[in-house]
Amino acid sequence: MRLYLILLLSALTLLAGCGQPARFHATEIPDVDWGKTFSLQDPRGRTRRLEDFRGKVVVLFFGYTHCPDVCPTTLTTLRDVMGLLGDEAQRVQVLFVTVDPERDSAELLANYVPQFHPDFLGLRGDEAATAAMAQEFKVFYAKQPAGSSYSVDHSTASYAFDPQGRLRLVMRYGESARNVADDLKLLLSGK
């Protein structure tokens, strides 16, 4: 009898979990009134907008090519995510937006970003377009003098859009590739 009760309780617990809605590891931000679109140049000089990627999950990350830590770490994690997604990676577009257009030329972005994954795309604007996009996405960035050069402090989160182009998730810096891949799979499945 005791074994029967234990098995019954275990079965009920499993069944109760079946009806639970999918949970994201990242922070869900449904129905926000910001982060609606953008208009920046790719390395070939072509204007790119969020609408260009409709039908794909888009991961948007702000950084700069001279970044010593956060940017290469994030791009490496996103490369690993693409590997975990397998064939589904074809339905994901990673966009790297520079917050340092003074140094990050189209040529530099064309060489830097694809080193992490050939399908990743670097985007840039002039100073005004960069500031407008940062404001639209609630991104902080500021030059910090460092001897004869400078570094750029910047926000470290990534944003994920569903295939309909709706901003859905803010993914924190340092999240594991497995958790990000799981979240993107949920977005790809229409959750």
Contact in structure between 171 and 26 (CB atoms under 8 Å): yes
Q: What is the CATH topology of the domain spanning 39-188?
A: Glutaredoxin (3.40.30)
Q: What is the pLDDT of residues 53-82, one digit of tens each?
A: 999 999 999 999 999 999 999 999 999 999
Q: Write down the mean pLDDT value for the chain.
A: 89
Domain ranges of the chain: 39-188
Q: What tokens were used for 19?
A: 């009806």
Provide the percentage of residues in the chain whose pLDDT is more than 90: 81
In this prediction the pTM is 0.87
pLDDT bracket for residue 22 (50, 70, 90): low
Determine if residue 117 is labeled as part of a ligand binding site.
Answer: no
Helix (H) or strand (E) holding 1: none
User: Which among 73, 66, 76 is positioned nearest to 98, based on CA atoms?
Assistant: 66
Q: What is the pLDDT of residues 111-145, one digit of tens each?
A: 999 999 999 999 999 999 999 999 999 999 999 99
Determine if residue 18 is labeled as part of a ligand binding site.
Answer: no
Q: Is 121 exposed, middle or buried (0-12, 13-18, 19+ CB in 10 A)?
A: buried
